[in-house]
Amino acid sequence: MLADRAVVLGELVRMHVGPGRLGLLWMWAALAATGWSVVGSGLVFIEQGADIFSGIAGVFSLVVGAAALIPAVVFACLGISRDREVRSLLDAWGALDRDPERDRRLRMPGMSLTWLLLSFVLGAVGLALCVIGPASARPGRETYGLVALVMGVGMVAWLTALVGGVTALAHRRWVVRVLMGGGGAGTGAGVVPVSPAGGRSASSEPPPPGSGTPSPSPDRSASSGAAAPPVRPPNPAS
């Protein structure tokens, strides 16, 4: 069973924090950022358009951008939902037993650190775009469409970094809690048996009423403990 557990956990860990999962997350993020950039360009065309051709180009950009943005968001959400299922399966399979030799390969500290560092860098870039872009805009020079474009790309980057950071921390928490954590429930060692009140044994307790065992009455116990009356000898005269 330990061999099957190691195989299943290895596959689940690769699905959770493997290079393929990281590349897939960044691919959907890049597609979403590209789609939003095209949508933002369409907004700029419509806002600055002086003729009908600029309006047509803006609408076309909106359609193309939405065609790239919506599938990327949908597949990214499906990936997040699958990550939750994978984490529940990791908890279930990891709780079956402990195997320190095989569990050492499941920790993957380098991959977790890679997830965390890339997420930190991407989050910093996204936060800078969301804050510095609108703050540096000048009325009359930058349009609202351009500000929306910059903020949208920054929001995509920040959300992707959030997903990556949560995934890395969740894997590390699973490693500490399941693979390196303490034992489970107690086995009953150290339990002190409780004796009846007053230090008496159970056999010395009076039987409960209706148990079928007659209890000694006080009169019988008193009479059995009293001395028997002396027997008078017969009178020879009679």
Contacts for 134 with CB less than 8 Å, ≥ 6 apart: 147, 150, 151
Check residue 102 and give its pLDDT: 82
pLDDT computed for residue 236 by the predictor: 44
pLDDT at position 226, please? 45
Closest by Cα among 99, 80, 87, 96 to 174: 87
- Which residues lie below 8 Å from residue 118, measured CB to CB, with a gap of 6+? 22, 161, 164
* Confidence (pTM): 0.69
Q: What is the pLDDT of residue 140?
A: 66
pLDDT (0 to 100) of residue 207:
52
| CB contact at 8 A, 73 and 35 | no
Asked whether 118 and 157 are in contact (CB, 8 A), the reply is no
Distance CA 108, CA 103 (A): 10
For the chain, which residues make up each domain, given as ranges?
A: 2-179
Distance (Å) of CA 30 to CA 25, 73, 146: 9, 11, 19
* DSSP assignment string, 167-226: HHHHHHHHIIIIIS----S--STTPPPPPPGGG--GGGSPPPTTSSPPPPPHHHHHHHHS
pLDDT of residue 142: 65
The first and second tokens of residue 122, run together, are 């991407």
Half-sphere exposure of 82 (CA within 13 A, CB side): 15
Please tell me the predicted confidence (pLDDT) of residue 204: 47
pLDDT of residue 211: 47
Contact between 106 and 100 under an 8 Å Cβ cutoff? The reply is no
Express each pLDDT in 165-212 by its tens digit: 999 999 999 999 888 875 443 333 333 333 444 444 444 455 555 545
Amino acid of residue 207: P
pLDDT in tens, the chain (238 residues): 778 888 889 899 999 999 999 999 999 999 999 999 999 888 888 887 777 888 888 899 999 999 999 999 999 999 999 999 999 999 988 888 887 888 888 888 899 999 999 999 999 999 999 888 788 777 766 667 788 888 999 999 999 999 999 999 999 999 998 888 754 433 333 333 334 444 444 444 555 555 454 544 444 444 444 444 444 544 444 3
